[in-house]
Structure 1
Amino acid sequence: MAGLRELRVFVAVAERLSFTRAAEELGLTQQTVSKTIRDLE
């Protein structure tokens, strides 16, 4: 089950249509955002 952090990352990517922009907004690396989305699949 996805936690709140994972869902926040998902929403940020969906709203920005960009892993890089979502990462910048969330203060994460692009690699962390990518792994989080991959883990949700």
Structure 2
Amino acid sequence: MGGEFVLRIEDTDLERSTQEAIDAIMEGMEWLELNWTRSLLPD
């Protein structure tokens, strides 16, 4: 197909945007076998 899947995680909600939450999202995506080409994560 030749597409690109970019995983972008916004950190607009600083109270809930923790590394633990980001890790949980990424683990869930991996469990679902949704593999991204690249990721854009908060600094």
TM-score normalised to structure 1 length: 0.37
Report which of the two has the higher share of helix: 1
If you compute each CA radius of gyration, which structure gives the higher value, 1 or 2? 2
Q: Which has the higher contact order (CA 8 A, sep 6+)?
A: 2
